[in-house]
Structure 1
Amino acid sequence: MARTRLYRHGVLEAEGFPVAEVSDHVADPSCAIWFDLCSPSPEELAMISEELGLHELAVEDVLQDRQRPKLDVYDSHLFLTVYGERLDDETGELASTEINVFVTPNALVTVRDNDLFDMREVVKRWDANRDLAKYGVGYLLHGLLDVVVDGHFTVIQALDDQLEDLESDLFDGRPSPALQRHTFALRKSLVGFRRSALPMREVVNSLIRRDLHVVEPGMAPYYQDVYDHVLRIAEWTDSLRDLITNIRETHLTQQGYRLNDIMKKLTSWAAIIAVPTMITGFYGQNVPYPGSEQPIGFWTSSLVIVVASAGLYLAFRKRDWL
């Protein structure tokens, strides 16, 4: 089901009307139209392309999954690809929604590949800034990008919090397989998020360019604010990438340390056990030795075993090997 809105002279005039009626208003320069499609069929896209004169390459990009976030400029319209992101707090997995946007002089068309991105938040953002509706499509596009970037902020904050918890767990106790799986899931999510968030710098920066005539002077500060947020997210993402790399290296270092500690203990006990093994081995020799077949020999060898073993044990304990 498509969602639609019609603004005339900066005032919301209608919403929820059929997409087929868009052609009745798109030729009116006083109108700004928005409609949203979720997982449309190729036939529906072809109809919209014919109504708005969209470029065939842009329509082809909509039908192909996992496009890179970008801004393409065509003669009659702009084409944007951005991603709405959500993070599962329990599993650390990232859920993405590809949002393709067609921007014409008086129409904004959003096409989503799934319904994980809630367009109601975008509508609320528009309603909260009704005084900016006079700027038409630039106002509609800003509301969409603002919600997308705010969603990125939410994800990067959640990733930061989970990485801090992960860092605490790493030093507070012995890492478990579950902790290792969670680390891998967070690293995978961060890599995927970085692919979506970093190109947004180019997208928003290109929109601010005056030669595109998308952002009117009155909307320029609002787009600049979005751009500042995008830069903060990019810097934050890079810092978290360094952090998770350090966590992984620390985990490997801890594993090497524990292995070395185990080897020291095994070596120490082997040295201690070797003492009675060596001394008692004399009893199996075929030649006489001092104290052979006499009580003094037994007590002497036993005393040597106890003293030598105790001495080795204390020496290894002093070096923290045991």
Structure 2
Amino acid sequence: MPGLPKPRLRRPARAPGEPLRPAEPDGPNVEVVEAEGLRWVNIANPRPADRSWLEEHFDFHPLDYEDVFSRNQRPKVDEYDDYLFVVLHFPVYDKRAGRLNAAELDIFVGPDFLVTLPNERLQPLEYLFERCSSREDVREQLFTRGTGYLLYKIVDDLVDSSFPMLRKIGLKLERLEEDIFEERNDEVVRDISNAKQEIINFRKIVRPQRAALKDLERTKRYVTGELDIYFDDVNDASERIWDMLENFKEVIEGLEATNEAVLSHRLNDVLRILTAFSVIMLPLTLIASVFGMNTHVPGEGDPLGFWIVIGVMVIVLAGMLTLFRRRGFL
């Protein structure tokens, strides 16, 4: 890939920790924290005005700008002569829709700058940026170790944010296991469907991410020396997330099969009772039909004959009930 001019901020230096905010509402939504010769630029939900600001202050490749604003990029790591372009996806729970969505984070990493462009709110990223803005000790801890370490800290916090979501999914599966054997068939089927869709969405986000994190660990641009073990730890966390999702996938499939078996068993119970009832009533119906024909039958017109027929029907009914109970049909 052809080399590009080394991208550097050309805006005058600001006081350490002082965020840069637009004065006008339609201006670029840019926040900057600078310390120890390193500048972190954060642009949440980048808009056309933000693209103009980036093109004015940096010399990134035009294709990277297209990737940032296309919103449909897969996770990847592109290495240029003077910077890295990283695209990562992280799960974000949308409370309004009640489902997991993929939040895209685009990162430009240079020798003395790091630009983050999330397309949705990422609380770990916002929290870390706020800490860097307000606390000098945090800036000294992170910024003195270079852009590679700051990149690691951002990615590590975002990867770790998946574990609370996974714990909630695990608790949800445990509750489903308890609810399956209760009389809540419609609710359990719906909850299983929702949990299964949540796990599928989570897997769709994490699966391509694993390859990108491995590429990030293998690159030697700004990830050298002692940073190798840090990014290896991020990969281990990503693999643990994937293993948990694989386990959840097996669990939800097992719960779905168990619920279907429980529903089938309950249906068989109902059918068994209905079948037994029908078989018990069949001889009684036959006796009543024979003596109800429009022909002369023994005992016709005699009140004693009526009671004899009733007695026979009661004896047959008792015999059928006793037989079915011994057979376990009732």
Q: Would you call these one fold, judging by a TM-score over 0.5?
A: yes
Q: Give 2:58's aligned residue.
A: 52
Output the CA distance in 2 between the equivalents of 1:129 and 1:15: 12
Could you say what the CA RMSD is over the residues aligned between the two structures, in angstroms?
A: 3.2
Q: Give 1:212's aligned residue.
A: 220
Distance 1:39 1:131, change over 3 A: closer
2:187 counterpart of 1:181: no
Q: After alignment, is 288-297 or 198-207 more displaced?
A: 288-297
Which secondary structure state, in structure 2, belongs to the residue aligned with residue 68 of structure 1? coil
Output the CA distance in 2 between the equivalents of 1:291 and 1:119: 95
Please point out which of 74, 85, 94 is paired with 1:79: 85
User: Which amino acid letter does the alignment assign opposite residue 217 of structure 1?
Assistant: G
Q: Give 2:118's aligned residue.
A: 112
Q: Give 1:269's aligned residue.
A: 277
Which secondary structure state, in structure 2, belongs to the residue aligned with residue 254 of structure 1? helix
Output the CA distance in 2 between the equivalents of 1:129 and 1:316: 80
Distance 1:73 1:311, change over 3 A: farther
Output the CA distance in 2 between the equivalents of 1:90 and 1:42: 27
Cα offset, 1:90, TM superposition: 11
Output the CA distance in 1 between the equivalents of 2:250 and 2:131: 34
Cα offset, 1:295, TM superposition: 4.4
Percent identity of the aligned residues?
30
Q: Give 1:134's aligned residue.
A: 144
Distance 1:235 1:321, change over 3 A: same
Q: After alignment, is 121-130 or 258-267 more displaced?
A: 121-130
Output the CA distance in 1 between the equivalents of 2:323 and 2:97: 47
Output the CA distance in 2 between the equivalents of 1:75 and 1:294: 113
Contact conserved, 2:101 with 2:201, CA < 8 A, in 1?
no
Output the CA distance in 1 between the equivalents of 2:94 and 2:188: 16
Q: Give 1:246's aligned residue.
A: 254
Residue deviations 1:172-226 (CA, integer Å, cap 9, x gap)? x0234233222222211111111112223212211121x5322121222221111
Output the CA distance in 2 between the equivalents of 1:89 and 1:264: 44
Output the CA distance in 2 between the equivalents of 1:176 and 1:89: 25
User: Which amino acid letter does the alignment assign opposite residue 240 of structure 1?
Assistant: F
Query: Tell me, which stretches of 5 or more residues in structure 1 are unaligned?
Result: none
Contact conserved, 2:77 with 2:85, CA < 8 A, in 1?
yes
Contact conserved, 1:85 with 1:95, CA < 8 A, in 2?
yes
Q: After alignment, is 280-289 or 252-261 more displaced?
A: 280-289
Query: Tell me, which stretches of 5 or more residues in structure 2 are unaligned?
Result: 1-8, 23-27
Residues 29-48 of structure 1 aligned to structure 2 (within 5 Å): 31-48=37-54
Residue deviations 1:126-160 (CA, integer Å, cap 9, x gap)? 66595453331111111111111111111111111
Output the CA distance in 2 between the equivalents of 1:135 and 1:198: 30
Residue deviations 1:242-290 (CA, integer Å, cap 9, x gap)? 1111111222222222222211111111112222211111222244344
Q: Give 1:144's aligned residue.
A: 154
Which secondary structure state, in structure 2, belongs to the residue aligned with residue 303 of structure 1? helix
Contact conserved, 1:272 with 1:309, CA < 8 A, in 2?
yes
Residues 1-322 of structure 1 aligned to structure 2 (within 5 Å): 13-17=16-20, 31-87=37-93, 93-123=99-129, 130-131=140-141, 133-171=143-181, 173-209=182-218, 211-322=219-330
Cα offset, 1:229, TM superposition: 0.7
Contact conserved, 1:170 with 1:251, CA < 8 A, in 2?
yes
Cα offset, 1:320, TM superposition: 4.1
Q: After alignment, is 39-48 or 227-236 more displaced?
A: 39-48
Cα offset, 1:108, TM superposition: 1.2
User: Which amino acid letter does the alignment assign opposite residue 200 of structure 2?
Assistant: V
User: Which amino acid letter does the alignment assign opposite residue 252 of structure 1?
Assistant: E
State the aligned residue count.
Answer: 307
Contact conserved, 1:83 with 1:98, CA < 8 A, in 2?
yes
Output the CA distance in 1 between the equivalents of 2:69 and 2:93: 25
Distance 1:226 1:305, change over 3 A: same
Distance 1:194 1:287, change over 3 A: same
Which secondary structure state, in structure 1, belongs to the residue aligned with residue 46 of structure 2? coil
Distance 1:282 1:288, change over 3 A: same
Output the CA distance in 1 between the equivalents of 2:327 and 2:86: 64
Output the CA distance in 1 between the equivalents of 2:129 and 2:240: 25
Output the CA distance in 1 between the equivalents of 2:92 and 2:171: 15
